[in-house]
């Protein structure tokens, strides 16, 4: 019987790992569909950001109470996985509590700490469910989350509660243990026979590990993928000041040629594209941002355009970018390559009205707990609108014409620019 259980466990674990790996490879491929960008500078600062932003959740502590609750879930996720390691090894080798003998007196100390964390995670998940579904904080009832995104968050929280209950019940039903919290539960099973207790403990053990493997494979389809991607996202975060915009080299060259015609190359100029119309025109860093989005809505709550009733929502910008990238990825999976499908990120997913509402104030970038920059995507899409489609308000076109013809926003020639000094 033990051999059958071992075989069943190994097959289950193998299938879960294969499916998870396949999905992660697809996400990596999708991210690398973006244009190349170099983020290899200042590795010391990048490692510091990784520890402060991803491990330390530094930006979350703008609200200490919420940050503390997130920290409980985060630590629970990390530390309780040590217990999962024991469960996995028990499943492979057919043992029971493999670490108890080697760790000796340290073993109950560890399991007791795991149980307290499990209780903390369970409590915080209940609070988060209440915030979303009873208290209904404004950023959790936005139209951005209509449909699957709202259900996704609830599914994850409920799953975590179930896993913690199974963990505590498994310990309580094990007669060979006497841990602080599970021992308070064990009186509920006082009248059970040893065989029934063993069956309960084994049932909880199997449901717990099956739930973990199911969660592992649900994770890459969920907003909770940020649990994994927060680390590379923090490492590759932008080190320049948030207000700095990246100039387009082709435009800089055109300005140089206009100011110094003798430097212009002879012959026809190479065709160039400007900005981004679809996800493959964005950088891989922008696409990593899209997959790393937690959908927490802090960016939208801080956005002055959204606050004043405009259609723009930075959270929606990130979700739309990810949805379009997923669509492109599915087409590649089906056909081997992506052929134009008549859709683009701008227009079909993100409207012109949304893009024009942005004031480029960087409030969304400042608010994001995982260092995402919706503004970079917005600017690239607006560049495509203006420079590829000549799609701009008339007021902008007047300014653009003056800059192109007079090298300044004002409607008079460069030769007359200093005339006001003589008046």
Residues 298, 179, single domain; the answer is: no
The DSSP secondary-structure symbol of 348 reads I
Cα distance between residue 280 and residue 251, in whole Å? 21
Residues 8, 142, single domain; the answer is: yes
Structure confidence by residue, pLDDT tens digits, 9-19: 899 999 999 99
Q: What CATH number has the domain bearing residue 298?
A: 1.10.1060
Residues 253, 202, single domain; the answer is: no
Domain that holds residue 293: 249-258+273-414
Residue 46 is assigned to a structural domain of this protein: no
Residues 170, 217, single domain; the answer is: yes
Residues 218, 367, single domain; the answer is: no
Instruction: Record the tokens describing residue 26, joined without a space.
Output: 């697809």
State the average pLDDT over residues 130-140.
87
Residues 203, 114, single domain; the answer is: yes
Residue 215 is assigned to a structural domain of this protein: yes
Task: Give the per-residue pLDDT at 57.
Answer: 78
Residue 266 is assigned to a structural domain of this protein: no
Residues 67, 209, single domain; the answer is: yes
Structure confidence by residue, pLDDT tens digits, 8-52: 889 999 999 999 999 999 999 999 999 998 898 999 999 999 888
Residues 6 or more apart whose CB falls under 8 angstroms from that of 203 comprise none
Residues 163, 282, single domain; the answer is: no
Structure confidence by residue, pLDDT tens digits, 239-287: 888 778 888 887 788 778 777 777 777 766 666 778 899 999 999 999 9
Matching residue, tokens 């989005």: 293
Chain-centroid distance of CA 242 in Å reads 19
Instruction: Record the tokens describing residue 80, joined without a space.
Output: 């309780």
| CA-based radius of gyration for the chain | 27
Residues 218, 277, single domain; the answer is: no
State the average pLDDT over residues 87-109.
88
Residues 220, 278, single domain; the answer is: no
Chain-centroid distance of CA 345 in Å reads 19
Q: What's the domain count of the chain?
A: 2
Residues 295, 209, single domain; the answer is: no
Residue 57 is assigned to a structural domain of this protein: no
Residues 278, 410, single domain; the answer is: yes
Structure confidence by residue, pLDDT tens digits, 291-331: 999 998 999 999 999 999 999 999 999 999 999 999 999 99
Please report, to the nearest 10 degrees, the dihedral formed by the alpha carbons of residues 138, 228, 30, 355 taken in order. Answer: 30
Residue 132 buriedness (CB in 10 A; 0-12 / 13-18 / 19+): middle
């Amino acid at each position: 019987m033990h051999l059958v259980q071992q075989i069943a466990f190994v097959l289950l674990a193998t299938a879960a790992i294969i499916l998870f790996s396949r999905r992660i490879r697809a996400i990596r491929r999708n991210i690398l569909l973006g244009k190349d960008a170099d983020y290899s500078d200042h590795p010391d600062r990048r490692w510091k950001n990784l520890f402060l932003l991803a491990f330390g959740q530094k930006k979350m502590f703008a609200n200490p109470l919420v940050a503390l609750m997130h920290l409980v879930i985060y630590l629970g996720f990390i530390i309780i996985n040590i217990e999962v390691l024991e469960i996995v090894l028990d499943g492979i080798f057919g043992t029971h509590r493999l670490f108890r003998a080697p760790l000796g007196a340290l073993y109950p100390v560890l399991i007791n700490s795991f149980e307290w964390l499990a209780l903390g995670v369970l409590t915080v998940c209940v609070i988060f469910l209440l915030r979303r579904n009873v208290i209904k904080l404004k950023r959790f009832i936005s139209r951005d989350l209509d449909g699957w995104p709202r259900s996704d968050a609830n599914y994850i929280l409920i799953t975590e509660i179930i896993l913690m209950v199974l963990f505590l019940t498994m310990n309580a039903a094990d007669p060979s243990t006497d841990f602080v919290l599970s021992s308070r539960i064990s009186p509920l099973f006082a009248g059970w026979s040893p065989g029934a207790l063993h069956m309960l403990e084994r049932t909880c053990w199997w449901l717990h590990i099956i739930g973990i493997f199911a969660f592992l494979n649900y994770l890459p389809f969920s907003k909770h993928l940020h649990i994994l991607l927060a680390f590379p996202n923090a490492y590759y975060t932008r080190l320049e000041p948030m207000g700095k915009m990246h100039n387009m080299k082709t435009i800089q060259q055109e300005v140089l040629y206009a100011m110094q015609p003798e430097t212009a190359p002879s012959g026809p100029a190479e065709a160039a594209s400007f900005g981004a119309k679809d996800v493959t025109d964005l950088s891989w860093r922008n696409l990593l941002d899209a997959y790393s989005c937690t959908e927490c809505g802090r960016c939208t709550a801080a956005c002055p355009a959204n606050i004043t009733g405009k259609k723009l929502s930075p959270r929606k910008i990130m979700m739309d970018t990810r949805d379009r990238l997923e669509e492109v990825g599915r087409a590649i999976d089906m056909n081997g390559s992506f052929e134009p499908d008549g859709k683009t990120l701008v227009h079909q997913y993100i409207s012109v009205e949304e893009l024009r509402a942005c004031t480029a104030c960087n409030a969304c970038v400042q608010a994001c707990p995982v260092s995402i920059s919706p503004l970079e995507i917005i600017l690239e899409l607006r560049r495509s609108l203006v420079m590829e489609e000549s799609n701009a308000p008339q007021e902008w076109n007047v300014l653009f014409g003056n800059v192109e013809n007079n090298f300044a926003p004002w409607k008079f020639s460069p030769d007359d620019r200093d005339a006001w000094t003589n008046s």
